[in-house]
Structure 1
Amino acid sequence: MESVEKLRDWLFDKDRDLELQDFVQPNVLDGDWQAIVGRYGSLLDGYRGRIGIHGPFFGFDMSTVDPQVQAIAQKRFLQGLGICEALGATHMVVHSPFTHWHHDNFDNGTWLKDHLFEACHTNLAPVVKRAEDIGCELVIENIQDVDPRERVRLAESFDSHMVRVSIDTGHAQWAHKATGAPPVDYFVKAAGKNLAHVHLQDADGCADRHWLPGAGTILWPAIFEALRDYADNPRLVIEVFGKYHAQIPACVARLEAEGLAQ
Protein backbone atom coordinates (compact mmCIF):
# COMPACT_ATOMS: atom_id res chain seq x y z
CA MET A 1 0.00 0.00 0.00
CA GLU A 2 2.72 2.46 1.00
CA SER A 3 4.67 1.90 -2.23
CA VAL A 4 1.57 2.43 -4.38
CA GLU A 5 0.90 5.67 -2.51
CA LYS A 6 4.44 6.91 -3.17
CA LEU A 7 4.45 5.83 -6.83
CA ARG A 8 0.86 6.84 -7.56
CA ASP A 9 1.64 9.76 -9.87
CA TRP A 10 4.17 7.67 -11.81
CA LEU A 11 1.67 4.81 -12.18
CA PHE A 12 -1.08 7.17 -13.36
CA ASP A 13 1.25 8.98 -15.76
CA LYS A 14 1.02 6.17 -18.33
CA ASP A 15 -1.53 3.94 -16.57
CA ARG A 16 1.26 1.41 -16.05
CA ASP A 17 0.53 -2.22 -15.26
CA LEU A 18 0.07 -2.76 -11.53
CA GLU A 19 0.11 -5.85 -9.33
CA LEU A 20 -0.88 -5.83 -5.66
CA GLN A 21 0.82 -8.39 -3.43
CA ASP A 22 -0.91 -7.77 -0.10
CA PHE A 23 -3.20 -10.74 -0.55
CA VAL A 24 -0.67 -13.59 -0.49
CA GLN A 25 -0.57 -13.52 3.30
CA PRO A 26 -2.88 -15.95 5.18
CA ASN A 27 -3.51 -13.41 7.94
CA VAL A 28 -4.75 -10.92 5.33
CA LEU A 29 -7.00 -13.49 3.69
CA ASP A 30 -8.45 -14.39 7.09
CA GLY A 31 -8.70 -10.77 8.17
CA ASP A 32 -10.44 -7.66 6.95
CA TRP A 33 -9.20 -7.73 3.34
CA GLN A 34 -12.29 -5.78 2.31
CA ALA A 35 -10.89 -2.73 4.12
CA ILE A 36 -7.63 -3.03 2.15
CA VAL A 37 -9.61 -3.28 -1.08
CA GLY A 38 -11.53 -0.15 -0.08
CA ARG A 39 -8.33 1.79 0.53
CA TYR A 40 -6.96 0.72 -2.85
CA GLY A 41 -10.25 1.69 -4.47
CA SER A 42 -9.86 5.24 -3.18
CA LEU A 43 -6.15 5.40 -3.96
CA LEU A 44 -6.60 4.15 -7.53
CA ASP A 45 -9.71 6.13 -8.39
CA GLY A 46 -9.35 7.17 -12.03
CA TYR A 47 -6.59 4.65 -12.78
CA ARG A 48 -7.12 3.03 -16.20
CA GLY A 49 -4.19 0.64 -16.29
CA ARG A 50 -4.28 -3.13 -16.04
CA ILE A 51 -4.41 -4.27 -12.43
CA GLY A 52 -4.01 -7.69 -10.86
CA ILE A 53 -2.91 -9.46 -7.70
CA HIS A 54 -0.43 -12.11 -6.73
CA GLY A 55 -2.57 -15.03 -5.63
CA PRO A 56 -2.11 -17.08 -2.44
CA PHE A 57 0.55 -19.79 -2.42
CA PHE A 58 1.93 -20.35 1.08
CA GLY A 59 1.71 -23.98 2.23
CA PHE A 60 0.24 -25.58 -0.89
CA ASP A 61 0.51 -25.87 -4.65
CA MET A 62 -1.96 -26.57 -7.42
CA SER A 63 -0.82 -30.18 -7.86
CA THR A 64 -1.49 -31.35 -4.30
CA VAL A 65 -3.21 -34.76 -4.15
CA ASP A 66 -4.27 -34.72 -0.49
CA PRO A 67 -8.04 -34.05 -0.51
CA GLN A 68 -7.87 -31.98 2.67
CA VAL A 69 -5.08 -29.82 1.27
CA GLN A 70 -6.96 -29.58 -2.03
CA ALA A 71 -9.87 -28.05 -0.13
CA ILE A 72 -7.53 -25.45 1.38
CA ALA A 73 -5.94 -24.69 -1.99
CA GLN A 74 -9.32 -24.21 -3.65
CA LYS A 75 -10.51 -22.01 -0.80
CA ARG A 76 -7.44 -19.77 -1.04
CA PHE A 77 -7.54 -19.49 -4.83
CA LEU A 78 -11.24 -18.64 -4.73
CA GLN A 79 -10.61 -16.06 -2.02
CA GLY A 80 -8.02 -14.50 -4.30
CA LEU A 81 -10.51 -14.33 -7.16
CA GLY A 82 -13.09 -12.79 -4.83
CA ILE A 83 -10.57 -10.06 -4.07
CA CYS A 84 -9.92 -9.63 -7.80
CA GLU A 85 -13.62 -9.15 -8.42
CA ALA A 86 -13.86 -6.59 -5.61
CA LEU A 87 -10.83 -4.69 -6.97
CA GLY A 88 -11.78 -4.96 -10.62
CA ALA A 89 -8.50 -6.83 -11.14
CA THR A 90 -8.07 -8.88 -14.29
CA HIS A 91 -5.14 -11.15 -13.51
CA MET A 92 -4.09 -13.37 -10.62
CA VAL A 93 -0.66 -14.97 -10.41
CA VAL A 94 -0.55 -18.62 -9.34
CA HIS A 95 2.61 -20.67 -8.86
CA SER A 96 3.74 -23.43 -11.17
CA PRO A 97 3.84 -26.93 -9.65
CA PHE A 98 6.91 -28.09 -11.63
CA THR A 99 10.16 -28.78 -9.80
CA HIS A 100 13.66 -29.86 -10.76
CA TRP A 101 12.77 -33.33 -9.42
CA HIS A 102 9.79 -33.51 -11.79
CA HIS A 103 12.00 -32.59 -14.72
CA ASP A 104 14.48 -35.37 -13.93
CA ASN A 105 11.76 -37.96 -13.40
CA PHE A 106 9.08 -37.29 -16.04
CA ASP A 107 10.76 -39.79 -18.36
CA ASN A 108 10.99 -42.34 -15.57
CA GLY A 109 7.34 -43.24 -16.22
CA THR A 110 4.46 -41.42 -17.91
CA TRP A 111 2.30 -41.82 -14.83
CA LEU A 112 4.05 -38.95 -13.03
CA LYS A 113 3.18 -36.22 -15.51
CA ASP A 114 -0.31 -37.64 -16.05
CA HIS A 115 -1.01 -37.61 -12.30
CA LEU A 116 0.38 -34.09 -11.89
CA PHE A 117 -1.80 -32.71 -14.69
CA GLU A 118 -4.84 -34.57 -13.32
CA ALA A 119 -4.29 -33.16 -9.82
CA CYS A 120 -3.95 -29.62 -11.21
CA HIS A 121 -7.23 -30.00 -13.10
CA THR A 122 -9.00 -31.40 -10.04
CA ASN A 123 -7.78 -28.54 -7.85
CA LEU A 124 -8.41 -25.75 -10.33
CA ALA A 125 -11.69 -26.82 -11.95
CA PRO A 126 -13.89 -24.53 -9.80
CA VAL A 127 -11.19 -21.87 -9.78
CA VAL A 128 -10.98 -21.71 -13.59
CA LYS A 129 -14.78 -21.57 -13.80
CA ARG A 130 -14.83 -18.65 -11.36
CA ALA A 131 -12.04 -16.89 -13.26
CA GLU A 132 -14.01 -17.21 -16.48
CA ASP A 133 -17.15 -15.89 -14.81
CA ILE A 134 -15.46 -12.70 -13.58
CA GLY A 135 -13.06 -12.20 -16.52
CA CYS A 136 -9.84 -12.64 -14.56
CA GLU A 137 -6.85 -14.43 -16.09
CA LEU A 138 -4.99 -17.03 -14.05
CA VAL A 139 -1.32 -16.67 -15.02
CA ILE A 140 0.98 -19.56 -14.07
CA GLU A 141 4.38 -18.30 -12.91
CA ASN A 142 7.57 -20.33 -13.18
CA ILE A 143 9.17 -21.11 -9.82
CA GLN A 144 11.51 -24.10 -10.14
CA ASP A 145 10.63 -24.87 -13.77
CA VAL A 146 13.48 -26.31 -15.84
CA ASP A 147 11.64 -26.90 -19.12
CA PRO A 148 9.55 -23.78 -19.87
CA ARG A 149 7.39 -25.72 -22.32
CA GLU A 150 5.80 -27.88 -19.60
CA ARG A 151 4.07 -24.90 -18.00
CA VAL A 152 2.77 -23.81 -21.40
CA ARG A 153 1.37 -27.30 -21.98
CA LEU A 154 -0.27 -27.23 -18.57
CA ALA A 155 -1.92 -23.87 -19.26
CA GLU A 156 -3.13 -25.05 -22.66
CA SER A 157 -4.52 -28.27 -21.18
CA PHE A 158 -7.26 -26.31 -19.39
CA ASP A 159 -8.65 -25.22 -22.76
CA SER A 160 -9.64 -21.87 -21.25
CA HIS A 161 -8.86 -18.38 -22.47
CA MET A 162 -8.49 -17.43 -18.80
CA VAL A 163 -5.52 -19.73 -18.07
CA ARG A 164 -2.26 -18.39 -19.48
CA VAL A 165 1.44 -18.18 -18.68
CA SER A 166 3.55 -15.86 -16.53
CA ILE A 167 7.34 -15.59 -16.48
CA ASP A 168 9.45 -14.47 -13.56
CA THR A 169 12.79 -13.47 -15.07
CA GLY A 170 14.74 -13.92 -11.85
CA HIS A 171 13.36 -17.40 -11.27
CA ALA A 172 14.23 -18.31 -14.84
CA GLN A 173 17.78 -16.98 -14.38
CA TRP A 174 18.22 -19.07 -11.23
CA ALA A 175 16.94 -22.15 -13.08
CA HIS A 176 19.29 -21.43 -15.99
CA LYS A 177 22.35 -21.21 -13.75
CA ALA A 178 21.44 -23.79 -11.10
CA THR A 179 19.52 -26.50 -12.96
CA GLY A 180 20.55 -26.26 -16.61
CA ALA A 181 17.34 -24.60 -17.78
CA PRO A 182 17.60 -22.59 -21.01
CA PRO A 183 18.34 -18.84 -20.95
CA VAL A 184 15.60 -16.48 -19.84
CA ASP A 185 14.68 -15.31 -23.34
CA TYR A 186 13.93 -18.94 -24.23
CA PHE A 187 11.20 -18.89 -21.57
CA VAL A 188 9.63 -15.98 -23.47
CA LYS A 189 9.92 -17.78 -26.80
CA ALA A 190 8.41 -20.97 -25.36
CA ALA A 191 5.39 -19.07 -24.01
CA GLY A 192 4.82 -17.03 -27.18
CA LYS A 193 1.30 -15.67 -27.53
CA ASN A 194 0.33 -17.54 -24.36
CA LEU A 195 2.46 -15.14 -22.32
CA ALA A 196 0.14 -12.82 -20.43
CA HIS A 197 2.34 -11.51 -17.62
CA VAL A 198 5.99 -10.99 -16.68
CA HIS A 199 7.66 -10.33 -13.35
CA LEU A 200 10.74 -8.29 -14.22
CA GLN A 201 13.49 -8.77 -11.66
CA ASP A 202 17.21 -9.31 -11.91
CA ALA A 203 19.29 -12.00 -10.26
CA ASP A 204 22.70 -13.64 -10.42
CA GLY A 205 21.60 -17.27 -10.69
CA CYS A 206 22.50 -17.92 -7.06
CA ALA A 207 19.28 -16.91 -5.34
CA ASP A 208 15.90 -15.26 -5.87
CA ARG A 209 17.37 -11.76 -5.58
CA HIS A 210 14.52 -9.51 -6.75
CA TRP A 211 16.99 -6.83 -7.80
CA LEU A 212 16.14 -4.02 -10.19
CA PRO A 213 16.73 -4.85 -13.86
CA GLY A 214 20.36 -4.17 -14.62
CA ALA A 215 21.68 -5.09 -11.17
CA GLY A 216 22.26 -8.78 -11.92
CA THR A 217 23.39 -10.98 -14.80
CA ILE A 218 20.25 -11.21 -16.95
CA LEU A 219 20.76 -10.12 -20.57
CA TRP A 220 17.90 -7.64 -20.81
CA PRO A 221 18.23 -6.75 -24.51
CA ALA A 222 17.57 -10.43 -25.33
CA ILE A 223 14.50 -10.45 -23.04
CA PHE A 224 12.90 -7.38 -24.59
CA GLU A 225 13.74 -8.50 -28.10
CA ALA A 226 11.97 -11.82 -27.41
CA LEU A 227 9.00 -9.98 -25.91
CA ARG A 228 8.70 -7.86 -29.06
CA ASP A 229 9.09 -10.81 -31.44
CA TYR A 230 7.11 -13.55 -29.70
CA ALA A 231 4.67 -12.14 -27.13
CA ASP A 232 1.53 -10.06 -27.52
CA ASN A 233 1.48 -7.14 -25.09
CA PRO A 234 1.92 -9.05 -21.81
CA ARG A 235 1.63 -7.18 -18.51
CA LEU A 236 5.09 -6.10 -17.38
CA VAL A 237 5.48 -5.72 -13.63
CA ILE A 238 8.76 -4.88 -11.88
CA GLU A 239 8.79 -7.17 -8.85
CA VAL A 240 11.57 -6.14 -6.48
CA PHE A 241 12.02 -6.04 -2.73
CA GLY A 242 10.44 -3.08 -0.98
CA LYS A 243 13.70 -1.22 -0.36
CA TYR A 244 14.08 -0.87 -4.15
CA HIS A 245 10.55 0.41 -4.85
CA ALA A 246 11.55 4.07 -4.78
CA GLN A 247 14.13 3.37 -7.50
CA ILE A 248 11.64 1.84 -9.95
CA PRO A 249 10.89 5.07 -11.92
CA ALA A 250 14.60 5.74 -12.44
CA CYS A 251 15.13 2.14 -13.52
CA VAL A 252 12.31 2.37 -16.05
CA ALA A 253 13.65 5.69 -17.33
CA ARG A 254 17.00 4.00 -17.95
CA LEU A 255 15.34 1.10 -19.78
CA GLU A 256 13.42 3.61 -21.87
CA ALA A 257 16.60 5.55 -22.68
CA GLU A 258 18.17 2.28 -23.82
CA GLY A 259 15.22 1.69 -26.13
CA LEU A 260 14.05 -1.38 -24.25
CA ALA A 261 10.82 -0.54 -22.43
CA GLN A 262 8.69 2.15 -20.81
Structure 2
Amino acid sequence: MLPLKIGAALMVADLPRYRDWLIDGQRDLEVQDFLRPGVLTGDWQGVVAEARRHLDGFEGRLGIHGPFYDMALDMADVDIAPIVARRFVTGVEAAAALGASQMVIHSPFTTWDWFNFGDNPQSGNRPSAFEAKMERAVALLAPALARAEAEGVTLVIENIEDIAPGFRRELALRFASDAVRLSIDTGHAHYAHCATGAPPVDYFVTDAGAMLAHVHLQDADGFADRHWPPGRGTVNWHAVFRAIAALPQRPHLVLELRDAGDIPAAMSWLEREGLGH
Protein backbone atom coordinates (compact mmCIF):
# COMPACT_ATOMS: atom_id res chain seq x y z
CA MET A 1 0.00 0.00 0.00
CA LEU A 2 1.28 3.45 -0.90
CA PRO A 3 3.08 5.53 0.26
CA LEU A 4 6.19 3.42 0.91
CA LYS A 5 8.94 4.18 3.42
CA ILE A 6 12.11 5.33 1.65
CA GLY A 7 15.74 5.21 2.78
CA ALA A 8 19.03 6.10 1.14
CA ALA A 9 22.34 4.81 -0.20
CA LEU A 10 25.10 6.90 1.36
CA MET A 11 28.82 7.16 1.84
CA VAL A 12 29.99 7.10 5.46
CA ALA A 13 30.92 10.78 5.13
CA ASP A 14 27.24 11.61 4.54
CA LEU A 15 25.92 9.67 7.55
CA PRO A 16 26.20 12.54 10.09
CA ARG A 17 24.01 14.76 7.89
CA TYR A 18 21.24 12.18 7.59
CA ARG A 19 21.66 10.26 10.84
CA ASP A 20 18.59 11.69 12.58
CA TRP A 21 16.41 11.22 9.48
CA LEU A 22 17.54 7.60 9.15
CA ILE A 23 17.12 6.75 12.84
CA ASP A 24 13.86 8.65 13.43
CA GLY A 25 12.22 6.60 10.69
CA GLN A 26 14.46 3.52 11.05
CA ARG A 27 14.77 3.70 7.28
CA ASP A 28 16.58 1.40 4.88
CA LEU A 29 20.26 2.27 4.51
CA GLU A 30 22.96 1.14 2.12
CA VAL A 31 26.56 2.06 2.95
CA GLN A 32 28.42 2.49 -0.33
CA ASP A 33 32.10 3.04 0.52
CA PHE A 34 32.92 -0.61 -0.16
CA LEU A 35 32.34 -0.18 -3.91
CA ARG A 36 35.40 2.07 -4.17
CA PRO A 37 38.51 0.36 -5.56
CA GLY A 38 41.06 -0.03 -2.81
CA VAL A 39 38.67 -0.02 0.15
CA LEU A 40 38.36 -3.81 0.42
CA THR A 41 42.12 -4.23 -0.05
CA GLY A 42 42.84 -1.60 2.58
CA ASP A 43 41.50 -0.69 6.00
CA TRP A 44 37.87 -1.67 5.42
CA GLN A 45 37.61 -2.48 9.13
CA GLY A 46 38.20 1.20 9.82
CA VAL A 47 35.36 2.13 7.45
CA VAL A 48 33.09 -0.31 9.27
CA ALA A 49 34.06 1.13 12.65
CA GLU A 50 33.39 4.70 11.49
CA ALA A 51 29.99 3.73 10.04
CA ARG A 52 29.00 1.91 13.23
CA ARG A 53 29.97 4.95 15.30
CA HIS A 54 27.55 7.12 13.30
CA LEU A 55 24.80 4.50 13.37
CA ASP A 56 24.48 4.00 17.11
CA GLY A 57 20.72 3.66 17.60
CA PHE A 58 20.01 2.70 14.00
CA GLU A 59 17.77 -0.36 13.79
CA GLY A 60 16.59 -0.11 10.17
CA ARG A 61 17.43 -2.58 7.42
CA LEU A 62 21.08 -2.27 6.45
CA GLY A 63 23.06 -3.22 3.37
CA ILE A 64 26.26 -2.36 1.56
CA HIS A 65 27.23 -1.93 -2.06
CA GLY A 66 29.85 -4.49 -2.97
CA PRO A 67 32.78 -4.06 -5.37
CA PHE A 68 32.12 -3.81 -9.10
CA TYR A 69 34.87 -1.87 -10.87
CA ASP A 70 36.63 -4.49 -13.07
CA MET A 71 34.91 -7.18 -10.97
CA ALA A 72 32.94 -9.06 -13.64
CA LEU A 73 30.91 -11.96 -12.22
CA ASP A 74 31.59 -13.97 -15.37
CA MET A 75 35.36 -13.37 -15.47
CA ALA A 76 36.81 -15.88 -17.95
CA ASP A 77 40.53 -15.34 -17.26
CA VAL A 78 41.60 -18.23 -15.01
CA ASP A 79 44.30 -16.12 -13.31
CA ILE A 80 42.09 -13.11 -12.60
CA ALA A 81 38.86 -14.93 -11.64
CA PRO A 82 40.20 -16.08 -8.22
CA ILE A 83 41.15 -12.49 -7.38
CA VAL A 84 37.64 -11.30 -8.21
CA ALA A 85 36.15 -14.17 -6.21
CA ARG A 86 38.24 -13.25 -3.16
CA ARG A 87 37.17 -9.61 -3.40
CA PHE A 88 33.51 -10.62 -3.19
CA VAL A 89 34.31 -12.76 -0.14
CA THR A 90 35.92 -9.74 1.51
CA GLY A 91 32.84 -7.72 0.66
CA VAL A 92 30.67 -10.23 2.48
CA GLU A 93 33.05 -10.08 5.45
CA ALA A 94 32.68 -6.29 5.54
CA ALA A 95 28.89 -6.55 5.34
CA ALA A 96 28.84 -9.03 8.21
CA ALA A 97 31.15 -6.87 10.33
CA LEU A 98 28.87 -3.89 9.78
CA GLY A 99 25.79 -5.91 10.64
CA ALA A 100 24.37 -5.60 7.13
CA SER A 101 21.94 -8.13 5.71
CA GLN A 102 22.54 -7.38 2.00
CA MET A 103 25.38 -6.79 -0.44
CA VAL A 104 24.69 -5.36 -3.89
CA ILE A 105 26.62 -6.87 -6.80
CA HIS A 106 26.38 -6.10 -10.51
CA SER A 107 24.78 -8.16 -13.24
CA PRO A 108 27.16 -9.71 -15.79
CA PHE A 109 24.72 -9.29 -18.69
CA THR A 110 25.66 -6.70 -21.32
CA THR A 111 24.00 -5.09 -24.30
CA TRP A 112 26.36 -7.17 -26.48
CA ASP A 113 25.05 -10.34 -24.83
CA TRP A 114 21.46 -9.54 -25.73
CA PHE A 115 22.26 -9.10 -29.40
CA ASN A 116 24.70 -12.00 -29.66
CA PHE A 117 23.49 -14.86 -27.45
CA GLY A 118 21.33 -16.11 -30.30
CA ASP A 119 24.33 -16.20 -32.63
CA ASN A 120 26.26 -18.46 -30.24
CA PRO A 121 24.02 -21.46 -29.49
CA GLN A 122 25.07 -24.79 -28.04
CA SER A 123 27.23 -26.76 -30.48
CA GLY A 124 28.19 -30.35 -29.72
CA ASN A 125 29.75 -30.43 -26.25
CA ARG A 126 30.22 -26.68 -26.22
CA PRO A 127 27.59 -24.82 -24.15
CA SER A 128 25.77 -21.83 -25.54
CA ALA A 129 27.23 -18.41 -24.79
CA PHE A 130 24.36 -17.85 -22.36
CA GLU A 131 25.03 -21.07 -20.46
CA ALA A 132 28.78 -20.48 -20.41
CA LYS A 133 28.28 -17.04 -18.87
CA MET A 134 25.91 -18.46 -16.26
CA GLU A 135 28.34 -21.25 -15.37
CA ARG A 136 31.26 -18.84 -14.93
CA ALA A 137 29.21 -16.52 -12.71
CA VAL A 138 27.95 -19.35 -10.50
CA ALA A 139 31.46 -20.76 -10.09
CA LEU A 140 33.09 -17.40 -9.36
CA LEU A 141 30.54 -16.38 -6.76
CA ALA A 142 30.46 -19.76 -4.97
CA PRO A 143 32.98 -18.84 -2.22
CA ALA A 144 31.24 -15.52 -1.47
CA LEU A 145 27.87 -17.24 -1.45
CA ALA A 146 29.07 -19.84 1.04
CA ARG A 147 30.31 -17.06 3.32
CA ALA A 148 27.09 -15.07 2.81
CA GLU A 149 24.95 -18.05 3.79
CA ALA A 150 27.04 -18.53 6.93
CA GLU A 151 26.84 -14.85 7.88
CA GLY A 152 23.18 -14.24 7.06
CA VAL A 153 23.96 -11.86 4.19
CA THR A 154 21.91 -11.84 0.97
CA LEU A 155 23.63 -11.09 -2.33
CA VAL A 156 21.37 -8.94 -4.52
CA ILE A 157 22.16 -8.77 -8.24
CA GLU A 158 21.58 -5.31 -9.71
CA ASN A 159 20.68 -4.67 -13.36
CA ILE A 160 23.26 -2.62 -15.25
CA GLU A 161 22.99 -2.95 -19.04
CA ASP A 162 20.34 -5.68 -18.80
CA ILE A 163 17.80 -5.64 -21.63
CA ALA A 164 16.03 -8.89 -20.70
CA PRO A 165 15.21 -8.83 -16.96
CA GLY A 166 14.56 -12.58 -17.08
CA PHE A 167 18.24 -13.35 -17.71
CA ARG A 168 19.23 -11.96 -14.32
CA ARG A 169 16.33 -13.69 -12.63
CA GLU A 170 17.38 -17.00 -14.15
CA LEU A 171 20.94 -16.43 -12.93
CA ALA A 172 19.75 -15.73 -9.38
CA LEU A 173 17.63 -18.90 -9.40
CA ARG A 174 20.57 -20.92 -10.71
CA PHE A 175 22.31 -20.51 -7.33
CA ALA A 176 19.40 -22.33 -5.64
CA SER A 177 20.00 -20.32 -2.46
CA ASP A 178 17.87 -18.00 -0.35
CA ALA A 179 21.02 -15.87 -0.06
CA VAL A 180 20.80 -14.71 -3.71
CA ARG A 181 18.06 -12.32 -4.73
CA LEU A 182 17.54 -9.46 -7.19
CA SER A 183 18.10 -5.72 -7.11
CA ILE A 184 16.71 -3.16 -9.53
CA ASP A 185 18.25 0.19 -10.32
CA THR A 186 15.44 2.29 -11.77
CA GLY A 187 17.73 4.61 -13.74
CA HIS A 188 19.63 1.70 -15.29
CA ALA A 189 16.37 0.06 -16.31
CA HIS A 190 15.10 3.34 -17.77
CA TYR A 191 18.30 3.79 -19.78
CA ALA A 192 17.97 0.23 -21.10
CA HIS A 193 14.32 0.88 -21.98
CA CYS A 194 14.92 4.13 -23.84
CA ALA A 195 18.32 3.43 -25.42
CA THR A 196 18.34 -0.31 -26.09
CA GLY A 197 14.72 -1.47 -26.26
CA ALA A 198 14.30 -3.05 -22.83
CA PRO A 199 10.88 -3.09 -21.17
CA PRO A 200 9.91 -0.09 -18.99
CA VAL A 201 11.02 0.04 -15.37
CA ASP A 202 7.82 -1.30 -13.84
CA TYR A 203 8.15 -4.41 -16.03
CA PHE A 204 11.54 -5.08 -14.41
CA VAL A 205 9.83 -4.94 -11.01
CA THR A 206 7.02 -7.28 -12.05
CA ASP A 207 9.45 -9.74 -13.67
CA ALA A 208 11.57 -9.89 -10.51
CA GLY A 209 8.47 -10.56 -8.41
CA ALA A 210 9.14 -12.37 -5.15
CA MET A 211 12.89 -12.40 -5.95
CA LEU A 212 13.16 -8.61 -5.63
CA ALA A 213 14.92 -7.68 -2.38
CA HIS A 214 16.43 -4.27 -3.10
CA VAL A 215 15.78 -1.18 -5.25
CA HIS A 216 18.00 1.79 -6.09
CA LEU A 217 15.64 4.72 -6.68
CA GLN A 218 17.06 7.27 -9.10
CA ASP A 219 15.64 9.26 -11.98
CA ALA A 220 17.16 9.66 -15.43
CA ASP A 221 16.39 10.82 -18.94
CA GLY A 222 16.85 7.44 -20.62
CA PHE A 223 20.13 8.50 -22.21
CA ALA A 224 22.65 8.35 -19.36
CA ASP A 225 22.98 7.11 -15.79
CA ARG A 226 21.95 10.42 -14.22
CA HIS A 227 21.17 9.48 -10.59
CA TRP A 228 18.81 12.44 -10.34
CA PRO A 229 16.18 12.74 -7.60
CA PRO A 230 12.79 11.30 -8.59
CA GLY A 231 10.72 13.88 -10.44
CA ARG A 232 13.63 15.41 -12.34
CA GLY A 233 13.76 12.87 -15.17
CA THR A 234 11.29 10.79 -17.16
CA VAL A 235 10.85 7.55 -15.18
CA ASN A 236 7.16 6.68 -14.77
CA TRP A 237 7.29 6.68 -10.99
CA HIS A 238 3.62 5.99 -10.39
CA ALA A 239 3.86 2.78 -12.44
CA VAL A 240 7.07 1.79 -10.63
CA PHE A 241 5.68 2.35 -7.14
CA ARG A 242 2.42 0.58 -7.96
CA ALA A 243 4.44 -2.43 -9.13
CA ILE A 244 6.54 -2.39 -5.94
CA ALA A 245 3.46 -2.03 -3.73
CA ALA A 246 1.90 -5.06 -5.45
CA LEU A 247 4.79 -7.35 -4.43
CA PRO A 248 4.29 -9.89 -1.65
CA GLN A 249 7.40 -8.53 0.12
CA ARG A 250 8.93 -5.12 0.75
CA PRO A 251 12.37 -4.77 -0.84
CA HIS A 252 14.91 -2.37 0.60
CA LEU A 253 14.09 1.00 -1.03
CA VAL A 254 16.99 3.46 -1.12
CA LEU A 255 17.53 6.71 -2.95
CA GLU A 256 20.84 6.41 -4.81
CA LEU A 257 21.54 9.96 -5.90
CA ARG A 258 24.66 11.49 -7.40
CA ASP A 259 24.34 14.36 -4.94
CA ALA A 260 23.24 13.28 -1.47
CA GLY A 261 22.14 16.86 -0.94
CA ASP A 262 19.19 16.14 -3.26
CA ILE A 263 17.60 13.73 -0.77
CA PRO A 264 15.27 16.38 0.77
CA ALA A 265 14.06 17.42 -2.70
CA ALA A 266 13.52 13.78 -3.66
CA MET A 267 11.53 13.07 -0.52
CA SER A 268 9.42 16.21 -0.95
CA TRP A 269 8.48 15.17 -4.49
CA LEU A 270 7.68 11.58 -3.51
CA GLU A 271 5.56 12.79 -0.60
CA ARG A 272 3.62 15.24 -2.81
CA GLU A 273 2.93 12.45 -5.29
CA GLY A 274 1.71 10.14 -2.53
CA LEU A 275 4.39 7.56 -3.35
CA GLY A 276 6.87 7.67 -0.47
CA HIS A 277 7.42 9.01 2.99
Partner of 1:149, secondary structure, is helix
Asked if 1 retains the 8 angstrom alpha-carbon contact of 2:231 and 2:269, the reply is no
Asked if 2 retains the 8 angstrom alpha-carbon contact of 1:92 and 1:139, the reply is yes
1:246 maps to what in 2? 261
2:214 maps to what in 1? 197
Query: Deviations along 1:61-96, whole A, 9 cap, x unmatched?
Result: 101111111111111101101101110011000000
Task: State the AA in 1 paired with 2:146.
Answer: K
Moved more, 250-259 or 219-228: 250-259
Q: Where do 1:1-262 residues align within 5 Å?
A: 1-108=12-119, 109-110=121-122, 111-230=128-247, 232-241=249-258, 244-262=259-277
Asked if 2 retains the 8 angstrom alpha-carbon contact of 1:10 and 1:249, the reply is no
CA distance in 2, matches of 1:83, 1:174: 31
CA distance in 2, matches of 1:210, 1:258: 19
Asked if 2 retains the 8 angstrom alpha-carbon contact of 1:50 and 1:90, the reply is yes
- Give the structure with the higher percent helix: 1
CA distance in 2, matches of 1:195, 1:124: 19
CA distance in 2, matches of 1:72, 1:254: 43
Query: Deviations along 1:14-60, whole A, 9 cap, x unmatched?
Result: 11100111111222222211111111111101100011110001112
CA distance in 1, matches of 2:243, 2:273: 16
Task: State the AA in 2 paired with 1:185.
Answer: D
Q: CA deviation at 1:231?
A: 5.1
Q: CA deviation at 1:139?
A: 0.3
Partner of 1:67, secondary structure, is coil
CA distance in 2, matches of 1:210, 1:199: 9
Structure 1 unaligned regions, length at least 5: none
Structure 2 unaligned regions, length at least 5: 1-11, 123-127
Report the TM-score, using the length of structure 2 for normalisation.
0.91
Task: Name the count of aligned residue pairs.
Answer: 260
Query: Deviations along 1:124-165, whole A, 9 cap, x unmatched?
Result: 111111110001000000000000111011101110001000
Query: Deviations along 1:199-246, whole A, 9 cap, x unmatched?
Result: 0000001100010011100010000000011351000010011xx312
Q: CA deviation at 1:188?
A: 0.2
Task: State the AA in 1 paired with 2:29.
Answer: L
Asked if 1 retains the 8 angstrom alpha-carbon contact of 2:156 and 2:182, the reply is yes
Partner of 1:94, secondary structure, is strand
Report the TM-score, using the length of structure 1 for normalisation.
0.96
CA distance in 2, matches of 1:95, 1:138: 10
List, as ranges, runs of 4+ consecutive aligned residues in structure 1 with deviation greater than 6 Å.
Answer: none
